[in-house]
Structure 1
Amino acid sequence: MTDSPMPEIGFGRVAAMFPVKDMERACAFYVGVLGFTKTFENGQPVGFTILKQGKAEIHLTLQKDYKAAPFNIAHIMVDDVDALHELCRSHGLRIVKGLRDQDYGLRAFVFEDPDGNRIDVGQPI
């Protein structure tokens, strides 16, 4: 790094990339259960998909030999964390960290999607 002045760079959208082993199963979960809308897909068979729900955008990439990381890969803010927690529980998803009020001002929990991706969910208290 140099001591030269930092250029003014405007950053745009940043979207999380979720590796998945089975694109059809992943889309069924994110679209059918969580209510995302598919806005783009590429490949035959489909190897890349963009999904949107409200202000959230996620990208799914097909990785047939994928092994999920043992840490959170994304953090999502929601309007009703209790409802999402119940939805995840009712669909048999693994809850990694239970729903509770955190000392940093969020009511939060962590779940695993069908591919084992850990997602931290929060709502301001």
Structure 2
Amino acid sequence: MNSKNEGALRFGRIAATLPVKDIECAKAFYIDLLGFRSVFENGSPIGFVILQRDDAELHLTLQKNHTAADFNVAHMMVENIDHLHDLVQGRGLKVVKRLQDKDYGLRAFVFEDPDGNRIDVGQPI
């Protein structure tokens, strides 16, 4: 990048967009279990939702033929990762990578949401 242009580039909000087969089921998971709130909904029936909690933002898009990827599609940094891990396990969701302290300074685990989207969760140690 040209040094005289370095100050001209600035990024704002970037949010993960997760495809879901049933938007009401996905909303219930992220709102009721994880405490997000819906700040925008579009379509009739609803086909797109923006969720927020604290500094996090997540977009849900209705994709009725969605097939989950076999890789992580989002990464969340949280406080109290052990509590989130308990919530995920209590809901019976698949934990892809167990909760553990990593050598790169994070306590982390990976789970699948109700649509099979893999979410990588981390907390600084």
Give TM-score scaled by structure 1 length.
Answer: 0.95
Instruction: Pick closer, same or farther for the CA change 1:24–1:9 going to 2, 3 Å.
Output: same
1:49: which partner in 2? 49
User: Greater share of helix residues, 1 or 2?
Assistant: 2
The percent of aligned pairs where both chains have the same amino acid is: 61
Q: Deviations over 1:48-80 (max 9, x none)?
A: 000001110000000000000000001100000
Matches of 1:36 and 1:47, distance apart in 2:
18
2:96: which partner in 1? 96
1:118: which partner in 2? 118
Following TM superposition, by how much is the alpha carbon of 1:10 offset from its aligned partner in structure 2, in angstroms? 1.1
Moved over 4 A (4+): 3-6
2:81: which partner in 1? 81
Q: Secondary structure at the match of 1:84?
A: helix
Matches of 1:50 and 1:66, distance apart in 2:
18
Which amino acid is the alignment partner of residue 115 of structure 1?
D
Give TM-score scaled by structure 2 length.
Answer: 0.95
Return 5+ residue gaps in structure 2 as ranges.
none
Q: Deviations over 1:80-121 (max 9, x none)?
A: 010000000000010000000000000000000000000000
How many residues align structurally? 123
CA RMSD of aligned residues (A): 1.2
Return 5+ residue gaps in structure 1 as ranges.
none
